[in-house]
Amino acid sequence: MRCDVLGFDDTRWRELLRATRHDVYHLPEYVAIEARRTRYRGGALLIGDGERQLLLPYLVRRGPIDKSSEGADVADLLSPYGYAGVLVSAAAAGDRGFLGAALRQLQDHLAGEGICAAFLRQHPVLSPELEGLGLAGLSLRRVPTMIVRLDRTEPEIWAHTRKGHQSTINRCMRLGQTARIGSWREDGEAFREIYRETMAQAGASGDYYFDDAYFDALQALGDRVHLCLVDSGGELAAACLLFERCGIVHAHLGGTRERHRPQSPFSLLLHFARLWARERGNEVLHLGSGVGGSEDAVFHFKAGFSRDRTQYVDAQFVVDEVRYKKLVEVRAASLGVAPDALVATGFFPAYRAMPKSLS
């Protein structure tokens, strides 16, 4: 079984995607966008045995965890923002023996590259189940997330909508609000303003702020990315980026202008998005989970649009257990806390936990 490192221009990456159901998050163009945004090294690992293949898009983060020499030059691997995770070819689907062997090969490769830990965010529809493979150092965190099954009729979709959301959607339409798919040229700047205003109002961390270069690069993905908008009183009231690939649509990034929040135009937006996605022959609309994967107010809002709940999995892979434990101890000492306190935050890898996660 081979393990090859693929660059963004490697034809083998595209060949596997052409033969395998995948998502925008698996595209080399998308991983390249994330590598530029984060300034991490990016690519994909291809582990295979003939037609049985496993693809793992990745970013490698390298740098010190603190000022001590013991924490210098630490490398860990993580999934690009979103839901890339592990993707297997059609010939490998359901082959648990191959999957376990491929992940052991992955572990050996990461160890040889000096990678201490790997964080993989699995796709809620496409990623294989990693439970029960007997891999040392692997732990799984299951996170509830909301989807809308688009094989339902429009009346069924409406019937599965929370009554309060139904009333809100009807009120938005009575107020003259209209939803549509927009264009980057005419609406791109307004979308960016709405998104950034929403993040500021929510007090979001810096990880959720994206510069113009990021949005320009997403625009270059062409018809795989769409702007969903709600107009109200001559201006954009709400906006959301939709990713579309292989029958799967994601609500990627979005928000609402503060002065329009009382009317909740985002409710109308999501209602329109699910009908639009259905009309285009897609199978599922993924709305996502709450902030940090919690079942908070954001999750409760999304849950009002569907009775279909699934999960994605955060796979936390400790490659070098001895070094991982030592790095956690070093980081804990620099913060003046016990190592168990860092682990208890749930942040992975724990040696990169920030002080705010301890509060």
SS3 97: helix
Residue 71 in this model has a pLDDT that exceeds 60: no
Intrachain domains 2-136 and 146-311 with the same fold: yes
Q: Give pLDDT, residue 199.
A: 84
Contact 16/89 with Cβ under 8 angstroms?
Answer: yes
CA 67 to chain centre: 31
For residue 131, pLDDT beyond 80: yes
The per-residue pLDDT for 123 is 97
Peptide bond into 349 cis (omega under 30): yes
Total residues found in the chain within this entry: 359
Lowest mean pLDDT among 39-43, 203-207, 308-312: 203-207
Q: What is the mean pLDDT of the chain?
A: 93
CA distance 92 to 231: 46
What does the pLDDT read at residue 146?
96
Q: Which CATH number, 1.10.260, 3.40.630, 2.40.50, 1.10.357, labels domain 2-136?
A: 3.40.630
Distance (Å, whole) CA 175 – CA 165: 15
pLDDT digits (tens, 9 = 90+) for 269-301: 999 999 999 999 999 999 998 877 677 888 999
Annotated domain spans of the chain: 2-136, 146-311
pLDDT at 128 over 90: yes
Partnered with residue 145 across adjacent β-strands are 310
Question: What pLDDT score was predicted for residue 67?
Answer: 65
Split at pLDDT 50, 70, 90, the class of 64 is confident
Instruction: Give, to the nearest 10 degrees, the angle between helix 265-279 and helix 163-174.
Output: 100
* Percent of the chain whose pLDDT exceeds 70: 96
Q: Looking at the predicted structure, is the pLDDT value of residue 70 above 60?
A: no
Buried b vs exposed e over 244-266: b needs ≥16 C-beta within 10 Å? bbbebbbbbbbbbbeebeebbbb
pLDDT above 90 covers a percentage of the chain that reads 84
Query: In which band, very low, low, confident or very high, does the pLDDT at 106 lie, cut at 50, 70 and 90?
Result: very high
What pLDDT, on a 0 to 100 scale, did the predictor assign at position 68?
A: 63
pTM: 0.93
Residue 212's region, left for phi above 0, alpha for psi from -120 to 50, else beta, is: alpha
**Residue 237, SS3 per DSSP:** strand
- State the CATH architecture for 146-311: 3-Layer(aba) Sandwich (3.40)
Residue 260 scores a pLDDT above 70: yes
Overall average pLDDT of the 333-357 stretch: 89
More confident residue, 29 or 346: 29
- Identify each DSSP E strand in the chain by its residue range: 2-6, 41-49, 52-63, 74-78, 87-88, 115-121, 138-149, 178-181, 225-232, 235-245, 248-256, 284-288, 308-318
Task: Please report which confidence band the pLDDT of residue 257 belongs to, taking 50, 70 and 90 as the band edges.
Answer: very high
Distance CA 12, CA 4 (A): 10
d(CA 217, CA 346): 32
Per-residue pLDDT, averaged over 170-183, amounts to: 97
Mean pLDDT of 337-356: 90
pLDDT at 204: 67
Quick one: pLDDT band at residue 307, thresholds 50, 70, 90? very high
Residue 355 has pLDDT above 80, yes or no: no
What is the tens place of the pLDDT at every residue in 194-243? 999 988 887 766 666 788 899 999 999 999 999 999 999 889 999 999 99
